[in-house]
């Protein structure tokens, strides 16, 4: 495995390829060997999808080999590098000059350049290129050829005869190619890379210049280009209407053979695992951990002899659901996760207790990796989760309706092609994460099961939210009740009151939806599904009572008859806390059927809340 696997650079040789696309490079190479010329091949795909790597593999496959009669003279050209050092309006002319320099210096032409005929042809065409003007004729060719066609006898071509100028330049280049590439089966292959890194209109102008001047027999152009970039260039140059009417036909005229990068065929699992630190052995048909000094570079540098199929599926699914199959995006996610791993291990080392181990396990990796992918893919969503890292938040992110209402979700939708698919990916991602921590498999996440996520977020500095525990809130409330009981202190009764919320049979005992929020010395706000439904008030006169929002008539009609004596309408009466219906919870707690009465009240509370939300 290449030591530079985690560095964001394209692969140079087929042996380093781990996405399973080498077959496509071989097919392209065979096509180049047999196709008619001139022809332009477009290697199409999004930024970071692997276009440069594909060019490199094709170039390797076309290198001279023993027994191969045909010669493939290859020029590799990076337009982005040229755009860094030249004024953009001169980009096309700069690249044309650069191509000429590459032709002159190409190693495979070393012997040919000794021939006088070749020397003269190179000199003639080079002289022509050197005289090109500095202005861009955007409407026609992408370059200005004013004043460049004076022959040795100083016979000037008329400036307005553009067609003749273009034809003569193409003829000069054709003459040069015929001399350099005399055999019919030989090819001059010019690979143009990074067109999607320059301004779209400049990329379009350059393609036009190639088509107008260098499109001659024995020449094959391979362009690494994003189709959308060329379409954007057309909008800027010709206007939106022309682009919509002529965009595709215009592109097809320039690019005769479009080849879309086969991202759907990528062996993402093997690629991801190789970045994480595990190579797949074809011979042994299993993954082996990368050893050696570079092992410390990897996210999965764990003490394990093998890795399970379930682990591989988990990392693959999490990656594809978040950052997708784009190799550059995957590398970015893995590198970021690895950085967070180092932060976590550093934190653990500083807090290390004597006798404990700072070992990095597959379980640790499976907890942290989704967090890093989520943050990179959906930063707006991650901010929401990091501000409220709890069971309830995690559960709510499985709901389409909830996701659509989140602040920042529109920003995510603007970046993606299919918002509905993105929402499905979000819910699928959350489902994978929940399934991971649902250790007992009951489909519900307990506080204990959620703790590893919260702990990891703290260790990786991914949240500044304070850890809140419902149990801590209930204990605080219990102390408040006992304190306000004064001389009539009854610890057992206080425990019974809290038991109405804590008992497993209580419908209020739902850590995902129920919450108590301290609002001062005398009361707590009661929330359900993040909506305030009332308040718990404790005063010296009344140590334990709650107020609920809603309609008194509806409560009066639906709750159990035994609960009604402990409820009253206080809508127009001033009191501590928030709510319209007083519930004397201290009295209810004294009854054996107290939990049943509170469940009856709960059902109407929930019913009224749902009606309000809908």
Domain count, the chain: 3
Tokens 């001033």, located at residue: 574
Q: Is residue 23 part of a domain?
A: no
Instruction: Please tell me the predicted confidence (pLDDT) of residue 131.
Output: 60
pLDDT for residue 11: 61
Structure confidence by residue, pLDDT tens digits, 109-129: 776 666 777 677 777 666 666
Name the H helices within 157-226. Answer: 162-180, 200-209
Q: What is the mean pLDDT of the chain?
A: 80
Contact 41, 222 (CB under 8 A): yes
- Regarding whether 428 and 372 lie in a shared domain, the answer is yes
Q: Helix 268-276 to helix 327-350 angle, to the nearest 10 degrees?
A: 30
Q: Domain end: 226, 261, 296, which one? A: 261
Residues 522 and 608 in one domain: yes
* Higher per-residue pLDDT: 65 or 341: 341
| pLDDT above 50 for 370 | yes
At 64, the pLDDT band (50, 70, 90 cuts) reads: confident
pLDDT at 447: 81
Q: What is the pLDDT of residues 223-245, one digit of tens each?
A: 888 777 777 777 776 677 766 66
| 302 and 252 share one domain | no
Q: In this structure, are 542 and 498 located in the same domain?
A: yes
How far is residue 428 from each of residues 319, 329, 370, 425, 483, measured CA to CA in Å? 12, 19, 12, 5, 48
User: What is the pLDDT at residue 314?
Assistant: 95
Q: pLDDT (tens digit, 9 = 90+) per residue, 391-439? A: 888 888 888 888 888 888 888 888 888 889 999 999 999 999 999 999 8
Do residues 79 and 204 share a domain?
Answer: yes
* CA 368 – CA 337 distance, rounded (Å): 7
223 within a domain of the structure (yes/no): yes
**Residue-level pLDDT at 560:** 92
Angstrom distance (rounded) from CA 282 to CA 19: 14
Q: Residue 574: what pLDDT?
A: 78
Q: Which residue has the higher pLDDT, 82 or 60?
A: 60
Residue 349: per-residue pLDDT:
83
131 and 235 together in one domain: yes
Which pLDDT score is estimated for 154? 36
Higher pLDDT, 514 or 585: 585
Query: Which of 94-98, 223-227, 584-588 tops mean pLDDT?
Result: 584-588
| Higher-confidence position of 306 and 609 | 609
Whole-number Å distance between alpha carbons of 453 and 463: 11
Residue range 71-100: mean pLDDT, rounded: 69
What percentage of the chain reaches a pLDDT higher than 70? 80
pLDDT at 486: 85
| Mean pLDDT calculated for residue range 488-510 | 90
Identify whether residues 415 and 530 lie together within a single domain: no
Residues of the chain with pLDDT > 90, as a percent, come to 23
For the stretch 313-338, pLDDT in tens is 999 999 999 999 888 889 899 999 99
Residue 146 has pLDDT above 60, yes or no: no
pLDDT at 465 over 50: yes
pLDDT of residue 137 exceeding 60: no
Structure tokens given for 405: 């209402």
Query: What is the model's pLDDT at position 445?
Result: 84
Closest CA to 122 of 112, 133, 135: 112
Q: Could you give phi then psi for residue 58, rounded to 5 degrees?
A: -65, -40
Whether 95 is in a domain gets the answer: yes
Q: Which is more confidently placed, 529 or 492?
A: 492
Peptide bond into 38 cis (omega under 30): yes
Is pLDDT at 247 greater than 70 in this prediction?
no
Is there a single domain that holds both residue 133 and residue 277? no
Q: Is 205 contained in some domain?
A: yes
Show the domain range for 297. Answer: 268-459
Q: Which of 403, 429, 459 is the last residue of a domain?
A: 459
Please give the average per-residue pLDDT across 285-294, as a whole number: 74
- 25 in a structural domain: no
How far is residue 540's CA from residue 611's CA, in Å, rounded to a whole number?
A: 36
- Indicate if 372 and 387 belong to the same structural domain: yes
User: Is 464 inside a domain boundary?
Assistant: no
Given this model, what pLDDT does residue 281 score?
Answer: 74
Using the 8-state DSSP alphabet, how is residue 213 labeled?
A: I
pLDDT in tens, 451-463: 999 999 999 999 8
pLDDT tens digits, 532-576:
899 999 888 889 999 999 999 999 999 999 999 999 999 888 777
426 and 541 inside one domain: no
Residue 586 confidence (pLDDT)? 92
Q: Looking at the structure, tell me whether residues 104 and 225 fall in a common domain.
A: yes
Report the pLDDT value the prediction gives residue 587, as an integer from 0 to 100: 93
Of the pLDDT bands very low, low, confident and very high (cuts 50, 70, 90), residue 164 is: low
DSSP secondary structure, 508-531, as one string: T--TTTEEEEE-SSSEEEEEETTE
Residue 159 has what pLDDT? Answer: 40
Q: What is the mean pLDDT of residues 197-204?
A: 74
Give residues with Cβ within 8 angstroms of 137, minimum separation 6.
143, 144, 145, 162
Residue 16: inside a domain: no
Among 432, 459, 486, the domain boundary falls at 459
| pLDDT tens string 180-199 | 788 888 888 988 887 777 77
429 shares a domain with 497: no
Contact 581, 550 (CB under 8 A): yes
DSSP letters for 91-155: HHHHHHHHHHHHHHH-GGGTTGGGSHHHHHHHHHHHHHHHT--SS--TTTTSS--TT----TT--
Residue 89 has pLDDT above 70, yes or no: no
Is residue 305 a part of any domain in this protein?
yes
């Amino acid at each position: 495995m290449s030591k530079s696997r985690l560095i964001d650079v394209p692969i140079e040789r087929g042996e380093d390829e781990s996405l399973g696309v080498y077959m496509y490079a071989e097919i392209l190479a065979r096509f180049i060997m047999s196709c008619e010329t001139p022809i332009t091949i477009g290697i199409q795909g999004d930024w970071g999808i692997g276009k440069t790597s594909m060019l490199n593999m094709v170039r390797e496959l076309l290198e001279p080999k023993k027994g191969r009669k045909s010669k493939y003279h290859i020029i590799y050209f990076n337009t982005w590098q040229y755009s860094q050092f030249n004024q953009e309006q001169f980009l096309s002319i700069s690249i044309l000059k650069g191509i000429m320099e590459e032709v002159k210096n190409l190693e495979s032409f070393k012997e040919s350049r000794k021939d006088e005929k070749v020397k003269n042809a190179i000199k003639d065409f080079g002289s022509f290129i050197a005289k090109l003007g500095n202005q861009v004729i955007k409407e026609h060719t992408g370059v200005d050829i004013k004043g460049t066609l004076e022959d040795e006898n100083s016979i000037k071509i008329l400036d307005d005869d553009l067609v003749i100028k273009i034809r003569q330049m193409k003829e000069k280049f054709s003459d040069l190619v015929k001399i350099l590439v005399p055999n019919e089966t030989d090819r001059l292959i010019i690979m143009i890379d990074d067109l999607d890194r320059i301004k779209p209109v400049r990329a379009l102008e350059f393609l036009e210049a190639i088509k107008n001047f260098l499109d001659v027999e024995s020449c094959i152009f391979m362009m690494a280009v994003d189709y959308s970039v060329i379409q954007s260039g057309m909008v800027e140059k010709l206007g939106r209407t022309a682009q919509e009417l002529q965009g595709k036909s215009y592109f097809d005229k320039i690019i005769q053979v479009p080849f879309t990068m086969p991202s759907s065929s990528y062996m993402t699992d093997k690629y991801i695992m190789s970045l994480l630190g595990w190579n797949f052995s074809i011979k042994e048909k299993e993954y082996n951990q990368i050893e050696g000094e570079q092992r410390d570079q990897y996210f999965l540098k764990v003490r394990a002899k093998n890795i399970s199929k379930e682990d591989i599926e988990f990392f693959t699914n999490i990656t594809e659901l978040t950052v997708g199959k784009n190799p550059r995006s995957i590398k970015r996610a893995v590198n970021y996760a690895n950085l967070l791993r180092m932060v976590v291990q550093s934190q653990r080392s500083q807090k290390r207790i004597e006798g404990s181990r700072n070992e990095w396990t597959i379980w640790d990796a499976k907890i942290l990796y989704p967090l890093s992918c989520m943050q990179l893919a959906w930063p707006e969503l991650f901010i929401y989760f990091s501000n409220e890292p709890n069971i309830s938040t995690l559960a709510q992110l499985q709901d389409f309706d909830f996701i659509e209402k989140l602040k920042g979700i529109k920003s995510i939708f603007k970046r993606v092609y299919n918002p509905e698919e993105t929402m499905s990916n979000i819910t699928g991602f959350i489902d994978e994460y929940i399934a991971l921590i649902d250790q007992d498999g009951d489909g519900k996440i307990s506080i204990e099961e959620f703790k590893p996520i919260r702990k990891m977020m703290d260790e990786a500095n991914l949240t500044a939210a304070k850890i809140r525990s419902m149990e801590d809130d209930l204990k605080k409330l219990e102390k408040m009740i006992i304190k306000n009981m004064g001389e009539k202190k009854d610890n057992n009764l206080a425990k019974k009151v809290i038991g109405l919320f804590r008992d497993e049979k209580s419908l209020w005992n739902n850590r995902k939806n129920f919450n108590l929020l301290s609002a001062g010395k005398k009361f707590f706000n009661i929330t359900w599904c993040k909506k305030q439904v009332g308040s718990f008030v404790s005063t010296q006169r009344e140590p334990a009572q709650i107020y609920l929002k809603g309609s008194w008539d509806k409560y009066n009609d639906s709750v159990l008859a035994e609960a009604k004596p402990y409820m009253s309408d206080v809508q127009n009466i001033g009191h501590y806390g928030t709510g319209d219906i007083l519930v004397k919870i201290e009295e209810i707690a004294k009854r054996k059927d107290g939990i049943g009465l509170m469940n009856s009240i709960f059902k109407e509370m929930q019913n009224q809340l749902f009606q309000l939300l809908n």
